[in-house]
Structure formats: C-alpha cells, structure tokens
C-alpha cells in the first residue's frame, strides 16, 4: 500500500510514478477523500472530548445527589451525533482503503521508465566456459528428453490432476529433489539464511499482507470450505511470519530461505508458452525473503540477486539478468531483477528467478515494523527472490546438459545429491 502521507506531500511525484507504472491516477481522488476524512475527524473528536469530559463528572454528581437527567438527555443527543459522524468516517476510510489496496507500488528512481517487457534492460549475462549458442547436433527439448529418458510424464500428470500438473518419475524425481536440496544447502552454507519450511495453505490475511489479494485473486486457488489459499509462492507464508510484529533494529537484516511447492491457476494463459514445464499450475521453488532496514535495502537486493546467480554459476547454466522497466514491474515491487536461463531448444531465455524490493509496500499492508535505537517505530523494507524456481531451471538444465547421443550429464555439483552422474 502506498503511504497516504506521501500522496499528501508529493502528489506530483506519485502521479508520475503511477503513470510510469501504467496505473490509474488516483491522486486527486485520494486527496479529496483525505480532506473529507480529516474534516469529519475534527468534528467527531470535539464531540467525543466533550462526552468524555462530562462522563468523568457523573460519578461525583451522583455522589452529591445532583439530578443527572438533563445531562443524560443532552449526552444522548451527543452520542447520536457521534454515531452518525463515526459512520461517515468509516465510509470515507473504506473508500480510501479500497483504492489504495488496488493501487500498485511506484518504482524506485533507478528503475528505467518503460511501457512493457520490451523496455527491460539487460544488466549482465554469464555464460559457462566453452558455451555456444550454436550446436552441431539436433538438440532435443525438455519434453522429448523427459519422455525418452523417463524423467517426466506429462500425460499421466494430466490424468491424475489436469494439465499443468507435472509428474516426475524415476531419476527425474531424484534430480528435482537433488536440485532443491542443493539450492537450500548452498544458501544456508554460503549466504547465511535461516531455513524455513512454511505452511503451503494460508489464510486470507496472509494473502492480503503480501499483496496477492485483492488484485491477483483470480490467479489463486482457493479452498472455499476452509477459507484457505494454496500458496502461489513461499513469499506469502514467509513474509507473513512477521505480520503485525515490531522487530528490534538489531535483528535486521533478517534472511529466510525456504522451499515450497507453488500453485498458480494461470487463468487465461493457455496456449501461450504453456507446453511442458514452461507454464504449470504446480512447481517447486526455493524462495529467499529479507526484512531489511530502509537505508540498506537496495544493497540487500543486489546481494540477493548475487545469491541466486551463485547457484547458476555453480550449476554452470547460462543466464542473463534483466532490470525490469517501470511498466513491467509487478504490482507490489519498487524494483525487480529477473534472472533468465538459456533454453537451447526453445532458443530463448526463460525466467527462472525474480528478485524484488517492495520497500514499505508489503510492510504497510502486513504491518511489519521495527523499533529504531531512538525508539521510533518504522516500517521495514521487505524483499524476496527465487533462489530459484526449479521448473524453468530444469528445462535449461536438461537441455544444456544433453549430449549428442541424447544422454544427460548430471551437473557435477549435484552428483552427490543424486547418487548418479549420467542419465541414459
């Protein structure tokens, strides 16, 4: 949620920020509602002060045997008026809340202004030694490889659950599990995260806290009987660990990493990049989440991207880093880097990670604050990033590690996790 004070104090900056993010300009609407709200508050608080003052005298009057009937009558009228104004205040505040909850975050000043994904900026790329975009043999795609080597069975996955619910079999399942364990261990051993294993069903408050609701509600699964949502990412439960809490300054930066399956309806996206693993309803992801002080959150963002990159370097998978432009940023993000890995069969880059700084946007929704040394309480900055998602990574990995004979070499760093070095 945007800070209403920011809108009040820098209306033009917010207006421009929303425009850059292709969002509706709600500034004037908010300003006028805000003014209305403060007008009502001034009136109602005067009346409440009067009521409190009079109420305080009543015990003494009763003791003295004075007649309280006229005062009661008067206070009854005041009470009615207060109820009326309270109602009005509530309505105005609901309107403000409704708008702000649906208004996206605005981008950090370092983010390039742009309309769509085409305006994203490639920051850097990394290619393993000896890598070439050209191959002198016919590369198979992950679906063909998965079928040929009995690693993936998309048909049966569809039978069991529906399209987009992948079934891993044999060494495919082992490889997936190895990848998850390897990534978790790497972050724990090299990057000082604390491991979390979160619930994968969360309540509505948690979904609101991280900003999936109300805007993205259509893209979420929902278990109506129990009012629970299967998580679209571990970001949701992990960020909500500290919902409604005031953290100590010395605890920050808090760094969590956790694995979870992720569930997404991907409503309306059928047919678009949807074959095999490219777009699925269930996938596995290792997620990094940070709670940071505002003054170093952008350094933390850079470090988080590096943390994800380290894994790809160790796995020797070609990747590039994109800085998303204002128009392509997600609803809650102020700045975001995407990490894309190379798919030789698709002949394109696939998004395998997204690392974002939300500044106070999520913290304000989820009410996550910290107490500074001078005792003042402020919102923390929250960040998260995939470290990384396995599905797209698996595509790149299988395809890049195939041999001309159609075998797959297991990346050396994974071999002690898989217990085998070649899949044939």
Q: State in angstroms the smallest separation of the CB of 51 from RNA.
A: 6
Question: Which ranges constitute the DSSP H helices of 211-338?
Answer: 235-239, 297-315
Q: State in angstroms the smallest separation of the CB of 359 from RNA.
A: 16
Which CB, 272 or 375, lies closer to RNA? Answer: 375
Which CB, 46 or 273, lies closer to RNA? Answer: 46
Which CB, 79 or 406, lies closer to RNA? Answer: 79
Asked if 110 contacts 335 with a C-beta cutoff of 8 angstroms, the reply is yes
3-state percent breakdown (helix, strand, coil) of the chain, nearest 5: 45, 20, 35
Q: State in angstroms the smallest separation of the CB of 235 from RNA.
A: 22
Q: Give the CA distances from residue 166 to residues 63, 160, 261, 335, in Å, rounded to whole numbers and listed in that order.
A: 78, 10, 12, 32
Which CB, 54 or 409, lies closer to RNA? Answer: 54
C-alpha torsion 288→293→298→300, nearest 10: -40
Bridge partners for 246 per DSSP: 369
Which CB, 59 or 130, lies closer to RNA? Answer: 59
Which CB, 143 or 241, lies closer to RNA? Answer: 241
Q: State in angstroms the smallest separation of the CB of 89 from RNA.
A: 9
Q: State in angstroms the smallest separation of the CB of 34 from RNA.
A: 7
Q: State in angstroms the smallest separation of the CB of 326 from RNA.
A: 27
Q: State in angstroms the smallest separation of the CB of 3 from RNA.
A: 9
Which CB, 252 or 395, lies closer to RNA? Answer: 252
Which CB, 162 or 227, lies closer to RNA? Answer: 227
Structural tokens at position 93: 């505040």
Q: 224 by DSSP, 3-state: which?
A: coil
Which CB, 164 or 237, lies closer to RNA? Answer: 237
* All residues at 6 or more sequence positions from 139 whose CB lies less than 8 Å from its CB, including other chains: 344, 345, 399, 402
Number of alpha carbons in the 13 Å side-chain half-sphere of residue 336: 29
Assign residue 3 a region (left: φ > 0; alpha: ψ between -120 and 50; beta: otherwise).
Answer: beta
Q: Give the CA distances from residue 386 to residues 105, 140, 333, in Å, rounded to whole numbers and listed in that order.
A: 20, 27, 14
Which CB, 90 or 412, lies closer to RNA? Answer: 90
Asked if 106 contacts 2 with a C-beta cutoff of 8 angstroms, the reply is yes
Q: State in angstroms the smallest separation of the CB of 35 from RNA.
A: 9
- Within 10 angstroms of residue 169's Cβ, the number of other Cβ atoms is 15
Among 354, 328, 324, 330, residue whose Cα is nearest residue 341: 354
Q: How far apart are CA 116 and CA 50, in angstroms?
A: 56
Q: State in angstroms the smallest separation of the CB of 414 from RNA.
A: 29
- Within 10 angstroms of residue 381's Cβ, the number of other Cβ atoms is 28
Q: State in angstroms the smallest separation of the CB of 70 from RNA.
A: 10
* All residues at 6 or more sequence positions from 419 whose CB lies less than 8 Å from its CB, including other chains: 174
Q: State in angstroms the smallest separation of the CB of 44 from RNA.
A: 7
Asked if 169 contacts 152 with a C-beta cutoff of 8 angstroms, the reply is yes
Residue 138 burial by CB count (10 A; 0-12/13-18/19+): exposed, middle or buried? Answer: exposed
Residues that bind RNA (CB under 7 A): 4, 38, 41-42, 45-46, 48-49, 51-53, 55-56, 58-60, 62, 72, 75-76, 79, 90, 246, 369, 371, 375, 377
Which CB, 46 or 299, lies closer to RNA? Answer: 46
Residue that has been written with the tokens 């070649």 in this structure: 422
């Amino acid at each position: 949620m945007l800070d209403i004070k920011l809108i009040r104090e820098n209306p033009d900056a917010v207006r421009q920020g929303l425009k850059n993010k292709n969002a509706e300009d709600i500034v004037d609407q908010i300003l006028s509602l805000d003014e209305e709200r403060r007008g009502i508050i001034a009136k109602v608080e005067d009346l409440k002060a009067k009521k409190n003052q009079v109420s305080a005298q009543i015990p003494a009057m009763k003791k003295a045997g004075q007649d309280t009937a006229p005062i009661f009558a008067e206070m009854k009228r005041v009470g009615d008026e207060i109820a009326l104004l309270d109602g009005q205040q509530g309505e105005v505040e609901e309107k403000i809340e409704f708008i702000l909850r649906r208004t996206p975050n605005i981008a950090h000043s370092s983010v390039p202004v742009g309309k769509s994904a085409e305006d994203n900026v490639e920051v850097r790329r990394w290619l393993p030694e000896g890598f070439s975009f050209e191959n002198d043999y016919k590369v198979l795609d992950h679906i063909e490889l998965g079928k040929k080597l009995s690693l993936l069975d998309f048909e049966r996955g569809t039978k069991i659950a529906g399209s987009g619910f992948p079934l891993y079999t044999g060494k495919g399942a082992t490889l997936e599990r190895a990848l998850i364990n390897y990534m978790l261990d790497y972050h724990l051993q090299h990057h000082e995260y604390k491991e979390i294993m979160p619930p994968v069903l969360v309540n509505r408050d948690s979904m609101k806290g991280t900003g999936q609701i109300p805007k993205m509600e259509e893209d979420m699964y929902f278990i109506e009987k129990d009012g629970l949502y299967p998580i679209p990412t571990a970001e949701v439960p992990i960020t909500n660990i500290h919902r409604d809490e005031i953290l100590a300054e010395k605890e920050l930066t808090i760094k969590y990493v956790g694995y979870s399956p992720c569930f997404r309806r991907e409503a309306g996206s059928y047919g678009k990049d949807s074959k095999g693993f490219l777009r699925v309803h269930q996938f596995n992801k290792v997620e990094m989440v940070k709670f940071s002080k505002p003054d170093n959150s952008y350094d933390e963002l850079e470090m988080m991207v590096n943390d994800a990159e380290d894994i790809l370097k160790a796995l020797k998978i070609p990747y590039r880093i994109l800085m998303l432009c204002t128009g392509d940023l997600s609803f809650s993000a102020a700045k975001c880097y995407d990490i894309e890995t190379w798919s030789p069969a698709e002949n394109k880059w696939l998004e395998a990670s997204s690392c974002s700084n939300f500044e106070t946007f999520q913290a304000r929704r989820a009410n996550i604050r910290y107490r500074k040394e001078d005792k003042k309480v402020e919102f923390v900055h929250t960040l998260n990033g995939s470290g990384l998602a396995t599905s797209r990574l698996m595509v790149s990995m299988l395809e890049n590690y195939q041999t001309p004979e159609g075998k797959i070499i297991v990346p050396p760093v994974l071999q002690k996790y898989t217990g085998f070095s070649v899949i044939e």
